[in-house]
Amino acid sequence: MLACRPAMALLAALPLVAAELPREVPKIYAQLCAGCHGPQLQGGTGSSLVDGVWKYGDGSDAFLTKAIADGMPLAGMPGFGQALDERQVRGLVIFMREQAVKAQQRGTPKPPPMTTGTITTKEAAFNVEVVAEGLKIPWSLAFLPGEPGFLVTERSGALRPVRDGRVGAPIPGTPAVWSEGQGGLMGAVPHPDYARNGWLYLAFSDPAPAGSEGSMTAVVRGRIRSGQWSDEEVIFRAEPRHYRRDGVHFGCRMVFSEGFLFFSVGDRGGRDHAQDLGRPNGKIHRLHDDGRIPADNPFVGKAGALPSIWSWGHRNPQGLAVRTGRDGGVELWSHEHGPRGGDELNRIQRGANYGWPVVTHGLEYDGRPITAVTSQAGLEDPVIVWTPSLAVCGMTAVTGDRFPGWSGDLLVGSLAGQELRRVTFPPNGPPVQEVLLRGQGRIRTVHQGPDGLIYVGFDNPGRVVRLVPTGPGSFP
Ligand code: HEC
C-alpha cells in the first residue's frame, strides 16, 4: 500500500485534457470512492474532495495521484494502486477537479433538516426532538445517575456537559488524545454504581509513549470534581509495542454487564492481529471495574495470550449492548464495521473467535476479493450481515415502558447508511429489522436515557436528538 510509485508522480505532470478521461471514471468513483467520500464528493467518512481544503498535501496533481495510488494509512485512506492503472488514477484526479467546479456552482450543500412531525413505525409512533446542536462528531453520551442532562464526547477530544439544550465548555483535564484519522476521544460510560462512587470511564486513542509511535486504544476512569477531570486511573493501556501509526479501527465502545467492564479494540489496521491472542487489537476485552483481570476470563493462564481478552477475530466493533433474552439470560451483543460489505451483528460468547480476516462477507475497498470463505468450523457466524455496508456505529438495547413495543430490541445506528434500525428477535426464526430513521445524517451513537427516551447522536451537523413516543405505532 505504501509502495513508492515514481511513475505516478511523472504522470501527474502531464497536461490536463478532459477528452482523455476514460469513460469509466465516474463509475470508478461511484464504486470505489463514493462510499467514503459521498456520491457528490461532498464527504462522509472521508473528507470532502470538492471544498478546496486539502488536509494532507498541497492539492497538486502529484499529491492527489499519490494519495489515491498509495493511500494514507495515518488518515484511514486506503490505496488503490493495485486495483487501478495509472490512466484510471489520472482520470480520478481530473474528475475531482471537474466536480469541484460543479460543487462551487451548486453552492454549499445544506444538511438535511431534522424531520418534524410524527413518525409512525410498526410498534411505536414518535416525534424527533433536537436536544443539542453545534457539536463536532458527538461520539458517545453518558447519562449520570442523579444529574440532569448528559455528557458528550467529541472525537476531537472534548468532554462536554449538556443541560437543557445548552452545550457547556469542555471539562478540563481529560486525557490527551491522538486525534488522527478515526482516532480521538470516543467512549464514555458511568460506573453502574456511579451514584455512590462517581467513576466515569473514557475510551480513546492514546498517544504513543516516548520511543514508540502512533496510538492505541486505552481506557481510563476518573471523577468530575468541581467541573474538573480528577482522580484519573488507568484501566487498560497496551504495551508500547502495540501502538500503531494507522489512523483506523480503534473500537472504543464500552458496556458494563454483571459488574464487569467490556470494551472493544478494533484491529488498528493490522488485520491479522485479530487472530493473534498475544495482541490487544481486534478483540473485545473484559475487566473488573478497577482494571484487574477476572480470574474466569477465557485465556487466563494460556501461554502467549492476553488475559483481558473475552472474544477475538473482530475488525472494528463500534456497537456494544447488553440485552436480556427471552429466558431472562444476559446477552452481550456487538456489531462491527466490515470492509466493503460484511458489516456484522454478533452475539458475543466467552472465548469465541468471530473470524476476521479468515472469514468475512466483505471485499477490499478497491474491489479485490479477500476470501471466498464466509463460514468455517470453530469460527462464529454473524447473526446479521449488512452488505452493502451501512457502516454500523452505536447500539443500545431497549428496556422500560416508554417504547413497550421495542422492549428487548437492539437499536443500531449507521454512518454511511444514515439509518437507525431496530432489530427484534422473534421467538422462532431469524431476527427482523425495521428502519426507524433514514437520511437525516450520519448516526454515530445511540443510547437510552434514564427517562426511557432514545437519544441519537449525528456527526454533521453534530447534534443529538431524542425520540419521544406519541403512541403505540401502526400495528398496536
Ligand atoms: C474506506 C474509506 C475511503 C475510501 C474507499 C476512499 N477514501 Fe479517500 N480518504 C478517506 C479518509 C478517511 C481520508 C482522510 C480524511 C480526513 O482525515 O479528513 C481520505 C482522504 C483522501 C484524499 C486527501 C484529502 C485531503 O484533504 O488531503 C483524497 C484526495 C482522497 N481521499 C481521494 C479518494 C479517492 C479518489 C477514492 C476512490 C478511488 C477514495 N479516496 C476512496 C477514506 C476513503
* pLDDT in single tens digits along all 476 residues of the chain: 334 444 444 444 444 444 445 579 999 999 999 989 999 999 988 999 999 999 999 999 999 999 999 999 899 999 999 999 999 999 999 999 999 999 999 887 677 778 888 999 999 999 999 999 999 999 999 999 999 999 999 999 999 999 999 999 999 999 999 999 999 999 999 999 999 999 999 999 999 999 999 999 999 999 999 999 999 999 999 999 999 999 999 999 999 999 999 999 999 999 999 999 999 999 999 999 999 999 999 999 999 999 999 999 999 999 999 999 888 999 999 999 999 999 999 999 999 999 999 999 999 999 999 999 999 999 999 999 999 999 999 999 999 999 999 999 999 999 999 999 999 999 999 999 999 999 999 999 999 999 999 999 999 899 999 999 997 776 54
Check: pTM over 0.75? Answer yes or no: yes
Residue 9 Cα, ligand 1 centroid: separation in angstroms?
18
- Helical axes 86-106 vs 61-70, angle rounded to 10°: 120
Ligand 1 pocket test, pick from 28, 37, 56, 366 with the greatest ligand atom count within 8 Å of Cβ, gives 37
For 318-459, where are the alpha helices, taking DSSP H only? none
Ligand 1 pocket test, pick from 36, 87, 393, 460 with the greatest ligand atom count within 8 Å of Cβ, gives 36
Residue 100 Cα, ligand 1 centroid: separation in angstroms?
15
Query: Half-sphere exposure of residue 468, counting CA atoms within 13 Å on the CB side?
Result: 9
d(C-alpha 298, C-alpha 309), whole Å = 7
d(C-alpha 78, C-alpha 368), whole Å = 12
Residue nearest to atom 11 of ligand 1 (CA): 46
Catalytic residue among 37, 191, 242, 249: 249
Q: Which residue's C-alpha cell is 463460514?
A: 375
Active site residue 335: no
d(C-alpha 219, C-alpha 69), whole Å = 35
d(C-alpha 469, C-alpha 335), whole Å = 26
Domains annotated on the chain, with CATH: 6-106 (1.10.760.10), 119-471 (2.120.10.30)
d(C-alpha 370, C-alpha 382), whole Å = 17
Q: Is 33 in the pocket of ligand 1 (CB under 6 A)?
A: yes
d(C-alpha 220, C-alpha 185), whole Å = 11
